[in-house]
Every structure is written in structure tokens, then in C-alpha cells.
Amino acid sequence: MQNEDILPVLYDLVVTIGSEISVKPLLTRTLQRLLYHTSFSAGFICLDVPVCKKEDGLVEVHLDAVVGDFDLIGVIGKPIALPCALICDPAGRKTEQAALLSALRATQTQYRSFLRLPIDHCGVIVLLAGEMPETNLPLTTMLQPVLAHLAKAVVLCRNNDAHTSGLVNQRDLLEKVFESSYSGVMITDAGGHIIEINPAFTRITGYESQEVYGKNPHLLASGRHDHEFYREMWADIESNGHWEGEIWNRRKNGEVYPGWLNIDSVRDKNGELLYYFGMFSDISTRKEAEAQIHQLAFYDPLTRLPNRRLLIERLQQAFSVGARNGQHGAVLFIDLDNFKTLNDTKGHDIGDQLLSEVAERLNACVRDGDTVARLGGDEFVVVLEALNTASDEAAAQADTVAEKIRDVLGRPYQLGRHTHYSTPSIGVVLFLGHRQNLDDVMKFADTAMYQAKTAGRNTIRFYDPVMQAAIEARAQLEEDLRHSLELRQLCLYYQIQMDNRNRPVGAEALLRWQHPERGLISPAQFIPMAEESGLIIPIGLWVLQTACAQLKAWQGDARTQRLTMAVNVSAKQFRSPDFVAQVESTLAEMNAKPALLKLELTESIVLEDVEGTIAKMRELKRVGVSFSMDDFGTGYSSLQYLKRLPLDQIKIDQSFVRDIVTDSNDAAIVQTIIAMSEVLGLSVIAEGVETEAQREFLDLRGCHAFQGFLYGRPAPLQDFEARLREINVNV
């Protein structure tokens, strides 16, 4: 290189240095240009040269750039030990340089001379050559400004590199988050087409990217949310740019799962909508965990019955419901007799088996709305709801369930190889609304249970002594009723039915029970009991037979041969499968005229099974039997079914007749019933007619048949017939 060439060289180097923004190309390109201009064959650059260690004359460095030597290129970035004399010590004479380089093990190439150019505090450039290139220029001095410039460039490029590598890292990081996120991510364009999803999306939904790209996220919809749900969601996104909430979605395999979804809209600076960004997680495991926690918190792990905590909650609800609708509830406190003995002798496993079995049996004894809970040990509590509004009826209902429980729990248990017998002691307390507090109710039930234990176990006790007495009396009565037929304690009374010309048209047979100690008992008291126990079937048959026999007996007398006989039929009796056959065979047996038999049904019979009722009525009508709808107006009185029933008569309930003259409301109801009967082509009769005013009122409005104390009370046969004779004399 000659003197006049120096300026273009410097210019070239400065331009090269200035055009690079990153350290690596800066060093490499600068080194290339230097070698080119100086005619050295190879070179390297070390930045950050450490202070030399003099002992072995070596210094450990990293080569940051190498040009022209393949061996050295191979060690770029790796630590390499080089002679201090090459890197930092004052360079020796030519002969010494050759000796130094011949010992250089890092490269196969034989160099004999080198030129070291320090880059201001920041490192060194070492140029290598087989022979020192010929030049008379003071290269080191001449290149000084270029090297200073390079030092500055290195600092700038390093800063720049740090920044860009930061940017790269940040992007890598975001990508990593996106890729490895536990939450499913989906990005749609402004038109709602999916343009990006992450692996979690695939893991949760089962859809691969190629299956969803371009599709609408609605493909995840489960169908569990209505239109309104999605409408509100989009309204939120439109107005706030955001929606968040729980949503049921469907996986590719059809499985529906609960998710937590965040949706954001992404807009540019001008507010133009660019993307929607949805991020969701599968919360089914969380839900399961919640359910599990709920299960642990509120249920007994052994029997899976509600525990004390849930029982208290349910009782509180039952109190509130009772307060609203006036219906009683009952708490049955159940303790197994001698459970401890079983546990001690047969072990806890067997004890646990018994408890599980008891739990199952208890559940089978109650209705859906009722609660069976386990307090712990062998103590169970049953809560009955929606019992009767009348406390004695409610007590009877609770007693029936308690009896059933006593019976069911008393049946043998198969525990492993053992057959075990167990009995319960049951304490019962009624409650109504918030009249008593919860703790008291539980305490009373517990006390009653102890009374049951003291009374000899396998026993039911009511907390209330009056109630207990009533229940006992009732139980006794039921027992007595069982024998009433065989002991011939039942009889029929007859009550006359008249037309508006004071002519007898029929009689209603009304059942009476002549109890040896209690005297005459009203059917209102024992018919419900007979229904519950099933005794109504034999009793009802007896009534039918007796009434038909009477009809037949009346055939022979001109005064009675046209009288109809009304017989009351209860729901259970009517529903029994052979009811129709029973009526037919009774009529045949007694040789009575079917046309004179009138069966009185109540609305409750019809409502239970309209179609079945119609079918049975038709069959009997075919034989000639007629039907009257008893107590009309007190039930649902739905015109809907009334129109379809093959009825002959409607019987206006006595509760409307009672105040018909004074209560305009009752008067209106009665008038409506009469008008309705006319429309339907049915005859109408009023029961409970006690006064002439009532009779006249009814007669004037189109009801021309009457039954009531005005004409005669229900009476035994002899009295009834005597009364008939009286009337006939007067007519």
C-alpha cells in the first residue's frame, strides 16, 4: 500500500464500519476489508481481552471474528488459550514472531508474522501472514482513527444487539406463552373467522388447526345456552370490548364441558375492529372438585346421605315452606337398637355394611321431597314435608311413614355370611312453619327417640303426649276397624232424596260404624283410615252388597220400588282393577235393578286418571248403572273433564247450600252449577238442604231435587221406612 492510497482505504473502512448495526457482521466485514487493504492472509478479532496471566505466557480469550483461517473460524466463540505476546504483550522482533506463531496450536496454517491493532480498550485485531507484507506506511498509527471509530461502533452495535435480541426474546417469549399456555386461545378476524389457535385449544376441544381455520367459533357451541345468552354476550363485547363468563361448550367428540371464557375485541388506533381474542379454560375438573368439596362438606361419606349440616339447611327450608303453605312437617329421629353390640362383636366393617343398608332402606321409605340424613354413628333423621294442614292428620301421616320405616328396618340383613336382625327406635316431632325453633325440634325428636328406647325399643314415640295418645288411639281404632266387618259392627243408614213436589225419589246409603265402646262413629273419621289401610276394599264391597240387597227388597213394595239407591265409592275402591266386575256380580247376585243403582264419585277419583275413569264408567253405564258427581264445587270442577264424563247427575256440595240465602257468592256458585248442569244435560241435586228457604231458593233457580235434614237425617232402615210411610200418607 502506498501513501496516496491511504485515503480511499480509510474511507472504505469507515463506510464499512458505519454501515453495520450488529457486532458480528461489523467485526467480520471490517476484518475482511482490513485484510484486503493490508494483504495479510488471515486475522481475528478478540473483544474483551482479559488481563494477561504471565505464568505460562498464555491468555484465555474468545475469538469474536475470524477471516481467512478455517481452523480458527471453527473456534469462534469458544475459549481458546493464546500466547500473551500475540494478544496483549508488546510484540517482539520478526524472528521472535515466527517462533511464537510456529508454536500456535490452534491452527494448522504456518504463519510467520503478525500485526496487532488495538481497538481502544475494547479488544484487539490480529492480522496474520506467512510473510510480513511489504509496506512503508506506519499502519498502526494510520489506522488509529479508524480503530477509534470501530471501538465506538462496537459499543453502538452491542447496544443495538442487546435491544434486538431483547425483542427477539420477547417475541419468543410470547410465542412460548401462546404455545404452552394451559388456556385455549383462539383469534378470529373481524368477521369472526378463526385465524389462529394454540395447542391448548386442540387439547381442550379436540379440534386441530386445519379443522377450525376459517370457521366460526360457534362450532364449539353446546346448545345449552339460548339465543338470549349469546345476544347478551355480543352486546357486552360491542359496548365494553370484553366479555367474561362461564360457558358450556362441546368438544369434537360431542362431550359437553364447562369452560371459563374471556373474549376481547382488538382494535387499531382509529378504532377499526381487527380481531377477536378468545381465551378459555376447561373448568370441568374445577367443577368436579367443587362438587367433591360439596359432597364432603354436606354428605356422609359412608352412606352418601346428607350430613348434619345439610340436614339443618333442609330443615330451615322446610320451616319456611311450611310457614307459607300451612302444611305440617315432621322430624323422625331414628336410632338403631343394639348397634354398638354388633359393632363390638362383628367389627366395624360389618357395622358399616349395616349402616349403608339402613340408609338405602330409609331412602326407599320416603317421598322424593323428603330428606334422609345421617347424624353420625347409628343415628339417622328423616324429615317429612308437605304433610296435612290439620295436625292430627299430619301426625297420622308421619306415623304411617314411621311404621313403614320400623317395618322395613326390622327385616333381616345379609351382612357378609351373617344374617343380622336389627330394630329401630323412632322419635317423632311435628313442626309447622317457624312456630318452634330448629334446635328445639331436634332436641324434642331426640327426647322422643329416648322415650321410644325406654318403652322397650323397636318403638315409635311422638314427643307431644297428646299427639302420642291420639296416635295410639288411632292405631287402636284401625285395629278395631279390621274386625268391624266380622263383628257385624257396620251398618247402613239411609237418607231420603226428594223432588220439588215432595215425592221421594231415592235414598243415599251412608255407612255407620257401631263401636262397642265409642258408640256410633262417623264415616268422616274412619273412611280415610280404611282407605289408607286398604280395608276400604272389603268394606266398600259390603256396602255395595247391602245396598243392592236393599234395592231388591224395595222392589216388592209399590212405595219403594222406584227409589234409586245412591252408594258412595271411594278412590281406592274405584281404582281397584276388579271394581267393575264387583259391581256387576253384586247386582246379579242380589238380583237388583242396575238402573236404580247410582254410584257417587268424587272429583279426586276422576282427576287421578281421567281416561281410566271414563272407561270404567262406560262399562258400568252399559249395564245400566248411573253416576252422580258428589261434593261438586269443592274440588277442581274442571269443565274440561266434566264434559267428557258419562255422568247423570251433579250433586251440589252442602257447603254452598248452607249459606245460599245469605251469601251472594255461594248463591252465584250454585246458580252457575245449575246452569252448567243444564248445558251438559245433567240432572242436579242439592245436599245439606236444611231449611225451606234453601229449598225454595234452589227450586226457583232450577234445582228440583233435594237431600238434607229438611226431609230427614240419615237413619237406620226401620226409621227410614217409617219416615217414608209418613210422607206417602201426606202426599
522 binds ligand C2E (CB under 6 A): yes
For ligand C2E, the binding residue among 543, 620, 660, 669 (CB under 6 A) is: 543
Residue 543: contacted member of ligand C2E, Mg ion, none (CB under 5 to 8 Å, by partner type): ligand C2E
Q: Binding segment for Mg ion among 214-222, 269-277, 435-443, 561-569 (CB under 5 A)?
A: 561-569
CA distance 540 to 185: 73
Q: Which of residues 567-586 bind Mg ion (CB under 5 A)?
A: 568
Helix (H) or strand (E) holding 242: strand 242-250
Residue 563 interaction partner, one of ligand C2E, Mg ion, none, beta carbon < 5-8 Å per kind: none
Q: How far apart are CA 351 and CA 340, in angstroms?
A: 8
Q: Scanning residues 586 to 645, which ones bind ligand C2E (CB under 6 A)?
A: 600, 630-631
Task: For the CB of residue 539, give the shortest distance to ligand C2E in the complex, in Å.
Answer: 7
> Please, what is the minimum distance in Å from the beta carbon of residue 357 to ligand C2E?
40
Taking CB under 5 A as the binding criterion, the range among 114-122, 492-500, 593-601, 615-623 that sits at the site for Mg ion is 593-601
- The interface with ligand C2E within residues 441-470 (CB under 6 A) comprises none
Toward ligand C2E, which CB reaches closer, 524 or 558? 524
CB neighbours of 304 closer than 8 A, spacing ≥ 6? 359
> What are the residues whose beta carbons fall under 8 Å from the beta carbon of 626, sequence distance 6 or more?
564, 595, 597, 598, 599, 648, 649
The CA distance from 405 to 385, in Å, is 16
The Cα-based distances of 125 to 39, 73, 97, 104 in angstroms read: 15, 15, 16, 17
Residue 257 to residue 125: CA distance in whole angstroms: 66
Per DSSP, the residues of 28-79 read: HHHHHHHHHHH--SEEEEEESPPPPPTTTSEEEEEBSEEES-HHHHTTBTSE
Q: Of the candidates 64, 378, 480, 630, which one interacts with Mg ion according to CB under 5 A?
A: 630
| Residue in the structure block whose three cell numbers are 225451606 | 692
Residue 523 interacting partner from ligand C2E, Mg ion, none (CB closer than 5 to 8 Å by kind): ligand C2E
By CB under 6 A, what part of segment 562-591 binds ligand C2E? 568-570
**CA triple 404-408-413, angle to 5 deg:** 170
| Least spacing, CB of residue 730 vs ligand C2E, in Å | 20
C-alpha cell at 565: 239407591
Calpha distance 67→45 (Å, rounded): 9
Stretch that binds ligand C2E, among 268-276, 522-530, 661-669, 715-723 (CB under 6 A): 522-530
Q: Are strands 626-632 and 597-601 parallel, antiparallel or unpaired?
A: parallel
Would you count residue 603 as binding Mg ion (CB under 5 A)? no
CB closer to ligand C2E out of 276 and 632: 632
Return the range that interacts with ligand C2E (CB under 6 A); candidates 302-310, 346-354, 473-481, 686-694: 686-694
CA 731 to chain centre: 72
Q: Which is nearer to ligand C2E, 97 or 602 (CB)?
A: 602
Q: Output 422 or 628, the one with its CB closest to Mg ion.
A: 628
**353 vs 495, beta carbon nearer ligand C2E:** 495
Which stretch in 428-436, 575-583, 620-628, 682-690 sits in contact with ligand C2E by CB under 6 A? 682-690
Question: What element of type H or E holds 506?
Answer: strand 504-515
The helix or strand, by DSSP H or E, that contains position 285, with its residue range, turns out to be helix 284-298
DSSP state of 306: B
Decide if residue 708 touches ligand C2E (CB under 6 A).
yes
Minimum CB distance to ligand C2E, residue 572 (Å): 9
Question: Which residues contribute to the site for ligand C2E (CB under 6 A)?
Answer: 495, 510-511, 522-524, 527, 540, 543, 568-570, 600, 630-631, 654, 687-690, 707-709, 714
Question: Which residues contribute to the site for Mg ion (CB under 5 A)?
Answer: 568, 600, 630-631
